[in-house]
Structure formats: C-alpha cells, structure tokens
Amino acid sequence: MSAFTWPPEGADSSAAARAPATAPIAAAVLVPLFRADGGRQLHIVLTRRRADLRRHAGEIAFPGGRKDFEDASLEQTALREAEEEIGLTREQVSVIGELRPTSTFATNYVIHPFVASVPEGVAWRVSAKEVDAVLELPLEDVRESRTTTTLERRGITFQTGAFVLDGNVIWGATARIIEDLLAWLSEDTARAAALGVA
C-alpha cells in the first residue's frame, strides 16, 4: 500500500460501500511557489482551513475547489479559487505546469493541481469564511519533514504518510500532490529552471 493512500489498511471493509456512487466531481487547486531569501529558497504556499468547516476542517490544503459552470477550464477554476481564498490575483500568477489528477475517497473529488510561480511578499487577503491562515513553507524543509504519523478520522485510527512541519500535519490528497510536485520538479530540469531550482 502506498503511504499516501486512503482508506488505510485495516479500515472497515464496508467503507467501500459508503463511497459515493456518483461520478467524481471535477476540482482544481493552485500550487503556488515563490523564491525567497534573495532567491535562495523555493517556498510553497498552502492554507489552513477553518476548524469549523463541514468538510476538511482544520486541514492543510492548497487553494482550490470545485469547477463552476462559469469556469472556462480547470486552470481557470484554480486561479479563481486562489483569488477568492487568499487574494492572489491572476496578474500575480504564472502557471508553469499541471500535475497528474488525484482523487479523494471521502468527498469524491478528482483534483487537478496547477503549479504556478508567484511573487515573493504577496499581501495575502484570506477568505474569512474558509481560511484560517496562509502558510509559506520552504519546499526543502517540507521534503525533509516526510514521515509516517498516526491520525484518527471518521472513527478510524490509522498510520499514514505525511509531512509534519512546525506543528502542521499535511496528509491525504495534499500530501500526495506535494509528492507528485517533488517528483515533477526532479524529473525535468526545464521545469526546475522555470522556478530557478536548476
């Protein structure tokens, strides 16, 4: 089993029966990256969701959400959601690529992540309805924080792969997207060069 897979091994075998029977819901997230410390360190931007939300309360996530009818593409969904959630305007974003889609078990979403370069020092304007805080984390520190941790969700205690940094536990779909991002950057020097990594 992959360390970043849900449901975990040993979970109630009836869990599959509780999974949504409808078609997956298309969603998109923006994966914002910027260089800081005089261009020496690549940082990733994440949000911590409010603790009182009905779904994914208190979890660490990328800005994003489901595709609206008005969105011309999933990339437009990611850009719109980033602007709504953290005040990142489209003029501040340069989309440089797309990671493979990742699915969520509990909420039946297929998430399309779009990697983007953004400026350092953005004055975040968070949506009070959704976001508790914006996190700017050095990507190398995130990479080094990869571990296995014990969580409890929906009455199930399980071990899962996660990134644990400064008290923030990043797991589930967000952790899988970060894993894909790290691989995506390492496998193509042109991508890394676009972010000043290579």
CB atoms under 10 Å from CB of 176, counted, come to 23
- The single-letter code of the amino acid at 165 is L
Which CATH topology does 25-140+189-194 take?
A: Nucleoside Triphosphate Pyrophosphohydrolase (3.90.79)
What are the backbone dihedrals phi and psi of residue 145, each rounded to the nearest 5 degrees, phi first? -90, 5
Q: Are strands 94-98 and 109-117 parallel, antiparallel or unpaired?
A: antiparallel
Q: What average pLDDT score do residues 9-22 get?
A: 46
Predicted TM-score of the model (pTM): 0.83
Residues 133-182 pLDDT 10s:
999 999 999 999 999 888 776 677 878 889 999 889 998 999 999 999 99
Give the integer Cα–Cα distance in Å for 111 and 44: 18
